[in-house]
Structure 1
Amino acid sequence: MRRNHSTTPRTPRVLGSLLLLAAAGGFALGAAPEARAAAPTPLGRVVPAPASVTPGGTPYRVTRATGIRVDDSAEVRRIGGYLAGVLRPSTGYPLPVTDRGTGGIRLHLADGDFGAEGYRLRSGAGGVTLTARTPAGLFHGVQTLRQLLPAAVERKTVQRGPWSIAGGTVQDRPRYAYRGAMLDVSRHFFTVAQVKRYIDQLALYKVNELHLHLSDDQGWRIAIDSWPRLASYGGSTQVGGGPGGHYTKADYREIVRYASSRYLEVVPEIDMPGHTNAALAAYAKLNCDGTAPPLYTGTQVGFSSLCVSKAVTYDFVTDVVRELAALTPGRYLHIGGDEAHSTAHGDYVAFMDRVQPVVARYGKTVIGWHQLTGAHPARGALAQYWGQDGTGAAEKAQVVAAARNGTGLILSPADRLYLDMKYTRGTGPGTDWAGLVEVERAYDWNPGAYLAGLPASAVRGVEAPLWTETLKKSADIEYMAFPRLAGAAELGWSPAATHDWNAYKVRLAAQGPRWDALGVHYYRSPQVPWPAR
């Protein structure tokens, strides 16, 4: 017979036992027992995978008494403030940032075998200590710390804890120095606020380069004082005929500042000699026949070219490079160079031979799409490879030969890392000219062995480009970037020995609740064992 527990009286002995448990802290009446709280996230269940994980010891629990202890340094204090800004809304705790006291969460700079961006995280009952040689390393360690806390820590309202961090040690440093993501703001324009949102998402996965595609046939997006119609007219539309837009110099400086606060370097791109219709429409004298074409709002490529034989072309290039370099504290300036189908090969080579020294004159290192290797890459230049598995042998050999002669490579194979490729035929937005790229395909390849005959030392890193012909809002960006961006970040950061799809997809699945908490609109790929919502 089924007993009606709601009317069965408690014996004094049972009630006494409950009171003893409550007094001992076993559970609070009316609350879930502590014993039932979820176990802390294992130290290795983060993305990108750390270089080394040694679990063990008692977890550390963040409480109302926890402080964030920092070195007496403005930069370390700022990182401590950033961490407090992440944790305070969801925990409801004050989390003071101080250079005094003991215990809590400590951020500390020290000499050691950390490299330029590595860190060590040690967690135990008495606290968590993040140690690095540089502020960038501390900041990357903070991203790991975030992922070791429950996903609800990302929410902007007070959530129920507990907030525990597993005990043990993480030793970590990146595989590659260049770990990038590109955002095309030319096909569709995105505001400063939208770019900042993407920067925050990139920072969580230790991406350190933000490549902004600032010019193309459909729009010129950066103000140039010496050529004002580039932005005011050339930036006045976008794909489909919308209003377009451009960044003032103050806007661009704010993007650079914000990216720097998240330890991302901005890499501006002015694509040339092709992909230049917006500039040609703005200034008739840049055209060989002196006639300006109409503004373009379609999606075709390869039809436009600067006039290589005109002296004014190089006045234009010099002015643009000079003004953009002055706005950009980072090391690089990207000169494009892809799909210049309307430029004769000899003219292309001559153009690149004249433009690369201009970039050097203003203190920047050239990056170009891999077609640059068909010209004469400058000493120290980087070529960004966007070919596919099916790219012709001659083109691949040209890239490999340039790498053997000292040109560094950034790998962005279109059928792996182009984030605008559709996942499946049934998903959208996006395109499929490089194929359908599901999550496993985007992740499961080795940058160090991707091109046959390429010296592994020539690979400087990876970058995940996001072209925006079909993307109009932040939700579109997020849907195409996530979850594949996390895999690109892991390819750039994690040791090759950690690379394993079956292990990765479990760690990736754990990011789903975090993205939910952050309000990220992502694709729930059936290849990933996402937890139920």
Structure 2
Amino acid sequence: MRQHRRTTRLLGSLLLVTAAGVSAVGAAPTGQTPTPLGRVIPAPESVKPGGAPYRITNSTRIHVDDSREARRIGTYLAEVLRPSTGYRIPVTDRQGPGIRLKLGSKDASLGDEGYRLDSGRNGVTITARRPAGLFHGVQTLRQLLPAAVEKDSAQPGPWLVAGGTIKDTPRYGWRGAMLDVSRHFFTVDQVKRYIDQLALYKVNKLHLHLSDDQGWRIAIDSWPRLATYGGSTQVGGGPGGFYTKADYKEIVRYASSRYLEVVPEIDMPGHTNAALASYADLNCDGVAPPLYTGTEVGFSSLCVDKDVTYDFVDDVIRELAALTPGRYLHIGGDEAHSTSHDDYVKFMDRVQPVVAKYGKTVIGWHQLTGATPAKGALAQYWGLDSTSAAEKEQVAAAARNGTGLILSPADRIYLDMKYTKDTPLGLDWAGLVEVKRSYDWDPGNYLPGAPSSAVKGVEAPLWTETIATPANIDYMAFPRLPGAAELGWSPAATHDWDTYKVRLAAQAPRWDALGIGYYRSPQVDWPTG
């Protein structure tokens, strides 16, 4: 996905965004005043406010073209609007005033995920070249409506959409979030809830961390004890759990309906105690260790010199690849402290071709660059500002040699890091990460020596050593997740903490309406009352 350069047009648009979207610090628009076009997250590429607003009424219809995808997106929008407005809001392929969703735009600059939104007295029209762009435009429309639109019971309104035009395309093609379901297991419905939260902010990748020392979470027919035994516990000794293949397919289906691609991860050769406990033969000494419910890392390793290890890897990748329509399969590779460097290189040299054999592209944590990344592989960088220059250069050298980068700096966008020393959840090994620190960096120039063209995007991981419930997820993800999403979507020229924190504050009533319990950072002037 190309990166957008600063232009006079863009800077002019930003002034309009500032004028339209930063009228009162922390103030949410009243029901009689439409939300300014610029007060959305992620910040749009171009905003031109003007003209009369559109008002949704009991005569409003959603007009779609005759494509199945447009109708499905129209139905999704109607299901958002009906409970709170109390209106029927039918979806029809007959054209007329109202909300119009149009696919097949001839504007090539919109790409696969961009959209144009035009609003005026007679209606709102969202146009896009591809369904993902149309869906992203619908998310912008949601944010332009009063926050009460998210409630599941009838609200008084009025339902106004400010007049003007937004044209919007993403800076990066990779805008991800990772959920660790291994340390603590989350059900299909709980994962779906997170998917819906991600979709609101135009996140397009869901990375599922499916295996670790504490639990194996995906059924593998050829190695059934991985799930039934290796998935039988979690951090702290709870019951754990695992996804059947039908469960996993349902997560993939639901994510796809929100235009998120699922990226499954099987971490190896380290972080493998659940697998080693399930099958003694995978251990070099042939003795299975006990299940593990603690939080230490780096003590487990597959046996690199055993042939059965590669039978296991082949079977797991084969079955998981068959379940996954997306392009990628993540093989972990981090914190393999119990694997020698030579064995690590040997292991990665044998495993990466297996991923390719089953039609997927390799992703690994950035330690993969200490071996030889396969052609086309992506390395996910999770280092810190304080990571050694030598380690940063190793990753940058791989990037100069063609390896793509996903940026997930732990002291910026690891969502499990504590906000302050008093945060009741989370860890602090990467430092304390308040909202401003999480937002205030530029992926394009973050890693010294790495070409900006190598940066494919950003991803916000949520590790779950201390995260056990959806309420825990909400508290640690919000308000930092929207900032990570903006870093991945919005042009670099829009990046400004002082204006962002105003737009962030305006999201709070929406989170309240959605039942999201967020951290009220003192760095943000949240609405009162």
Q: TM-score range by the shorter chain?
A: over 0.9
CA distance in 2, matches of 1:399, 1:207: 25
- Alignment partner of 1:74 out of 68, 80, 95: 68
User: Counterpart of 2:362 in structure 1: which amino acid?
Assistant: V
- Go from structure 1 to structure 2 and tell me whether the alpha carbon gap of 1:289 and 1:69 turns closer, same or farther (over 3 Å shift): same
Q: CA deviation at 1:37?
A: 4.9
User: Counterpart of 1:407 in structure 2: which amino acid?
Assistant: T
Q: 1:466-505 to 2 correspondence within 5 Å?
A: 466-505=462-501
CA contact (8 A) 2:203 2:485 kept: yes
Alignment of 1:236 with 2:213, yes or no, is no
- Structure with bigger RCO (C-alpha 8 Å, 6+ apart): 2
Q: 1:147-296 to 2 correspondence within 5 Å?
A: 147-296=143-292
Q: CA deviation at 1:91?
A: 0.2
Q: CA deviation at 1:39?
A: 1.1
Offset from partner CA, 1:140-180 (integer Å, 9 cap, x none): 00000000000000000000111000000000000000000
CA distance in 2, matches of 1:427, 1:324: 37
Q: CA deviation at 1:428?
A: 1.8
CA distance in 2, matches of 1:478, 1:327: 28
Q: Alignment partner of 1:402: what SS?
A: helix
Offset from partner CA, 1:102-135 (integer Å, 9 cap, x none): 1100000122121010000000001100000000
Q: Alignment partner of 1:129: what SS?
A: strand
CA distance in 2, matches of 1:163, 1:244: 44
Coordinate RMSD, CA, aligned: 0.6
**TM-score, reference length from structure 2:** 0.94
- Alignment partner of 2:437 out of 430, 437, 441: 441
Q: 1:321-470 to 2 correspondence within 5 Å?
A: 321-470=317-466
CA distance in 2, matches of 1:429, 1:400: 33
Q: CA deviation at 1:234?
A: 0.3
CA contact (8 A) 2:116 2:137 kept: yes
Q: 1:27-106 to 2 correspondence within 5 Å?
A: 37-106=31-100
Query: What is aligned with 1:18?
Result: none
CA distance in 2, matches of 1:351, 1:412: 24
CA distance in 1, matches of 2:179, 2:329: 15
User: Counterpart of 2:91 in structure 1: which amino acid?
Assistant: V
CA distance in 2, matches of 1:244, 1:230: 12
- Go from structure 1 to structure 2 and tell me whether the alpha carbon gap of 1:451 and 1:486 turns closer, same or farther (over 3 Å shift): same
Offset from partner CA, 1:186-208 (integer Å, 9 cap, x none): 00000000000000000000000
CA distance in 2, matches of 1:452, 1:264: 30
| Unaligned residue ranges in structure 1 (runs of 5+) | 1-35
CA distance in 2, matches of 1:297, 1:39: 53
Runs of 4+ in structure 1 deviating by more than 4 angstroms, as ranges, are none
Q: Alignment partner of 2:33: what SS?
A: coil
CA distance in 1, matches of 2:445, 2:194: 30
User: Counterpart of 1:91 in structure 2: which amino acid?
Assistant: T
Offset from partner CA, 1:487-506 (integer Å, 9 cap, x none): 00000000000000000000
Q: CA deviation at 1:101?
A: 3.2
Q: CA deviation at 1:378?
A: 0.2
Percentage of identical aligned residues: 80
Offset from partner CA, 1:288-317 (integer Å, 9 cap, x none): 000000000000000000000000000000
Offset from partner CA, 1:252-279 (integer Å, 9 cap, x none): 0000000000000000000000000000
**TM-score, reference length from structure 1:** 0.93
Q: Alignment partner of 2:110: what SS?
A: coil
CA distance in 1, matches of 2:447, 2:330: 22
Query: What is aligned with 1:19?
Result: none
Alignment of 1:111 with 2:106, yes or no, is yes
- Alignment partner of 1:298 out of 294, 304, 327: 294
Q: CA deviation at 1:73?
A: 1.0
CA distance in 2, matches of 1:462, 1:456: 13
CA distance in 2, matches of 1:478, 1:293: 35
CA distance in 2, matches of 1:209, 1:122: 27
CA distance in 1, matches of 2:301, 2:96: 63
Range with bigger deviation, 497-506 or 95-104: 95-104
Q: CA deviation at 1:136?
A: 0.3
CA distance in 2, matches of 1:404, 1:317: 29
| Unaligned residue ranges in structure 2 (runs of 5+) | 1-29
CA contact (8 A) 2:47 2:165 kept: yes
Query: What is aligned with 1:127?
Result: 123
Structure exhibiting the larger radius of gyration computed from Cα positions: 1
CA distance in 1, matches of 2:480, 2:95: 42
Q: Alignment partner of 1:366: what SS?
A: strand
- Alignment partner of 1:136 out of 132, 135, 140: 132
CA distance in 2, matches of 1:329, 1:522: 33
CA distance in 1, matches of 2:99, 2:383: 45
CA distance in 1, matches of 2:195, 2:517: 15
Offset from partner CA, 1:326-359 (integer Å, 9 cap, x none): 0000000000000000000000000000000000
